[in-house]
Copies of this chain bind each other. A is one copy, B any other.
């Protein structure tokens, strides 16, 4: 099998990271990989979100994340084990990833409780 491409951490760009994480599906994937203890396979995301994601699309998303330098994919038998490169990125761009993940979390929380701050509760 053709070995997967992973950029050197020095070639990882801020623009690339932001672009990769400007897609809600990809952030969700990335966040899950970053939090997970055991490296999740690609296919574990097929039925995860609200909508079913076609596997070709999913494959592209993983490729985008890999090429942005956000995750590392390693074949292990049939599956492709994905791990985050948070550590390396944190060293190069301290605080960037946590700030983004945190912002998404805030946004999510605001979406789930849209009432409290503005209306007496819908």
Interface residues of A (CB under 8 A from B): 10, 13-19, 21-24, 27, 92-96, 98-100, 102-104, 106-107, 110, 118
Contact = CB atoms under 8 A, between A and B. Distances in A.
A95 to B, nearest CB: 5
A18 B93 contact: no
> How many subunits of this chain does the assembly comprise?
2
A22 to B, nearest CB: 4
Contacts of A18: 18-19, 21-22, 100
A56 to B, nearest CB: 22
B95 A107 contact: no
Nearest to A24: B15
A100 B17 CA distance: 10
B19 A22 contact: yes
Given A15-B23, A19-B19, A22-B15, A99 B106 contact: no
Contacts of A100: 14, 18, 96, 99
